[in-house]
Amino acid sequence: MVRATTSRIKVLMWGLLFIFVLSNLMVQAFVTVTPLITESFAISASTASIQVTITTVTLGVASMIYDTLTDYISIKKLMVVGICLLAIGSVIGFAFQHYYWAIVLARAIQTAGQAAMGELFVITVSRYLSEEEKLRYMAIYTAAFQLAYALGVLMGSIVTAHIPWYVLLLLPLISLVLLPIAWQFSPEEEVHKKERIDVFGITLFSLVIVFLILYLNQMQILFLISFGVLLVAFLLYIHYQPKAFITGQFFKENKRFATAWVMVALLEFTQFSFAFLVSFVVTDGFKASLAHVSSVMLPAYLVAIVAGLSGPAIIKLIGEFKTMLLGSVMAMVGTLTAASLIQSGLFTLSIGAILFISGLNILFTPMMNMVIGSLRPESIGRGIGLNDLTINITGSIGLAIVGLLMSSSSFKKTAMITNTTLGVFQNIYYLMAVALMFAIVVLILNRKKLFPEE
CA distances for 323 relative to 69, 318, 328, angstroms:
34, 7, 9
Alpha helices in 70-198 (DSSP H): 75-95, 100-128, 131-157, 179-185
Residue 24: its H or E element: helix 6-32
CA–CA dist 301, 350 (Å, integer)? 10
Instruction: Specify whether the CB–CB gap between 62 and 139 falls below 8 A.
Output: no
CA angle 400/405/408 to nearest 5° reads 125
C-alpha triplet 301, 428, 304: angle, nearest 5°: 10
Whole-number Å distance between alpha carbons of 238 and 355? 40
Please report the pLDDT score of residue 2 as a whole number: 40
Buried b (16+ CB within 10 A) or exposed e, 118-150: bbbbbbbbeebbeeeeeeebbebbbebbbbbbb
| Contact call for residues 277 and 402 (beta carbons, < 8 A) | yes
- First CA to last CA distance, the chain: 39
Longest Cα separation, the chain: 68
Residue count (the chain): 454
DSSP class of residue 167 equals: G
- The pTM for the full model equals 0.82
Per-residue pLDDT of the chain (454 residues; tens, 9 = 90+): 444 567 778 888 888 889 989 888 998 888 888 888 998 999 887 788 888 878 888 887 888 777 767 767 788 888 889 999 999 999 999 999 999 999 999 999 999 998 888 888 877 877 777 766 776 777 677 778 878 888 888 888 777 778 888 899 999 999 998 888 877 877 766 655 555 677 788 888 888 888 887 887 777 899 899 999 999 999 999 888 887 877 778 888 888 888 999 999 999 999 889 988 998 999 889 998 888 888 898 899 889 888 877 877 888 899 889 999 999 999 999 999 999 999 999 999 999 999 999 999 888 888 888 888 888 876 776 777 788 788 888 888 898 889 888 887 788 887 888 888 899 999 999 999 999 999 999 999 999 999 987 7
* Residue-level pLDDT at 49: 80
Which residues, at least 6 apart from 301, have a Cβ–Cβ distance to it below 8 Å? 146, 147, 149, 150, 153, 357
The DSSP call for residue 283 is I
CA angle 137, 140, 142 (to 5 degrees): 115
Sequence-distant (≥ 6) Cβ neighbours of residue 128 within 8 angstroms: 3, 4, 6, 9, 187
pLDDT of residue 48: 83
Helices (H), 193-292: 199-218, 221-240, 248-253, 255-268, 273-280
Neighbouring C-beta atoms of residue 15, cutoff 10 Å? 24
Residue 47 pLDDT: 83
Q: Are 43 and 101 in contact (CB under 8 A)?
A: no
- At residue 290, φ and ψ (nearest 5 deg) are -65, -25
The closest of 185, 191, 131 to 1, measured between CA atoms, is: 191
Secondary structure (H, E, C), 25-76: HHHHHHHHCHHHHHHHHCCCHHHHCHHHHHHHHHHHHHHHHHHHHCCCCCHH
Q: DSSP per residue over 372-435, as a string?
A: HHTS-GGGHHHHHHHHHHHHHHHHHHHHHHHHHHHH-HHHHTT--SSSHHHHHHHHHHHHHHHH
